[in-house]
Amino acid sequence: MIKTVNGIKINYEQKGEGDLIVLLHGWGSNIGLFANLIGLLSRKYKVVAMDMPGFGGSEEPPSAWEVGDYTQFVIDFLKDYPDKKIMFLGHSFGGRVIIKLNSRTDLPFEISKVILVDSAGILPPKSNKKSLRTYYYKAGKAILSTKLAKLLAPDALEDFRKKMGSADYAAASPLMRQVLVKTVNEDLEPLLPNIKCPTLLVWGVNDTATPLSDGEKMEKLIPDAGLVKLENAGHYSFLEQQYTFNRVMCSFMGIED
């Protein structure tokens, strides 16, 4: 389904009846990866999953958004829903948005439950190697941005960016690269104590994108949180250990297994 929110065409799916739960996907992902979850949760709840601006079948945002802009977008998207209590599930980047959402004091609804799956939001410690790479990137970018460099090698700057950036960065459009840089550099750790509702954390033990230590830190900082660790799973634990993940979800959400 398609709806327009603040002038942006958004692809979304809605299924089921009951209390509302909203699913927010990770960076570079889309609602297609939530097919199993939508089917499971819609047995008892009204499930809404959206391709956030810049992902899947939705249009890009009008400018380089920060996490706070995506938070406001989610609020605006939900204006058509009369629900006074809403649950949220977020994977990776979607978790960032949910963490920020819980720090808003002007929400038109109450957040009743939160599920964070391999969530982003905690900045990794900077190593000397990473600092050197950052310096090298900034220096190379400055040199290749000069008029002479662009004249002699017009594609050199773009090739350098792709080489130095992550796979997510290389795959993104120029605008979404700006969004990525803004979002990954925002430290949301100080906001975690603001999540007051019951919170389920699910983590793949082998996650290298958002390591298990992030989940353990979130469990300590969120007042009413519990952490489930999934063995033999990485950053997409909800897909890699789908059977076990589904059982955990049924238990937390009161769905008959």
Model confidence pLDDT, tens digit, residues 85-140: 999 999 999 999 999 999 999 999 999 999 999 999 999 876 444 544 444 445 44
Distance CA 93, CA 254 (A): 26
Please, what is the average pLDDT of the chain?
Answer: 89
pTM for the structure as a whole: 0.86
HSE toward the beta carbon, residue 203, CA cutoff 13 A:
23
Band of residue 167 on the pLDDT scale cut at 50, 70, 90? confident
Q: Mean of the pLDDT values across residues 65-86?
A: 97
Nearest to 89 by CA among 255, 252, 213, 218: 252
- Domains with residue ranges and CATH for the chain: 2-123+185-253 (3.40.50.1820), 128-181 (no CATH)
- The confidence score (pLDDT) of residue 129 equals 45
- 116, β-bridge pairs: 90, 201
Q: Mean of the pLDDT values across residues 213-229?
A: 98
Distance CA 136, CA 98 (A): 34
- The confidence score (pLDDT) of residue 162 equals 52
HEC secondary structure over 45-60: CEEEEECCCCCCCCCC
